[in-house]
Amino acid sequence: MGISPAELSALVASGQRPVIFDVRSAWEFARGRVPGARHLPFWTRGWPPLAASMPADTAIVVYCGYGPRAWWAAMRLRRLAFTQVHCLRGHMHGWRRAGLDEERSRG
């Protein structure tokens, strides 16, 4: 299952934003991300506590740079019993190609 950059951008703008996880490295995350995205590197050990902190039917969108890390992360979230997990189609590359706004870290 996937969600397009335009669909996610519309959800963010409307205030109906799902939980958005950016599973890229800290360096990539700082350089630019989907507005409101939370950083959850795909190699982190924070996955089980995450599962305990959110209902299983939480709407989640996962993305990385081009796909492989996000696909892995989505599979892991589904194994933790999350039922509404979607990957951002085109991932961050597609978001940028669509010319959509990004948040950046200051520093």
pLDDT above 90 for 97: yes
What's the CATH number of domain 2-45+55-97, 3.40.50.2000, 3.30.70.3040, 3.40.50.2300, 3.40.250.10? 3.40.250.10
Question: 17-22: which pairs have CB atoms within 8 A and are 24 or more residues apart?
Answer: 18/58, 18/59, 18/60, 18/61, 18/84, 18/86, 19/54, 19/58, 19/59, 19/60, 19/61, 20/60, 20/61, 20/62, 20/63, 21/60, 21/61, 21/62, 21/63, 21/73, 22/63, 22/64, 22/92
pLDDT in tens, 16-70: 999 999 999 999 999 999 999 999 988 887 777 877 789 999 999 999 999 899 9
Using pLDDT thresholds of 50, 70 and 90, give the confidence band for residue 71.
very high
List the chain domain ranges.
Answer: 2-45+55-97
| 0.85 exceeded by pTM | yes
Using pLDDT thresholds of 50, 70 and 90, give the confidence band for residue 1.
low
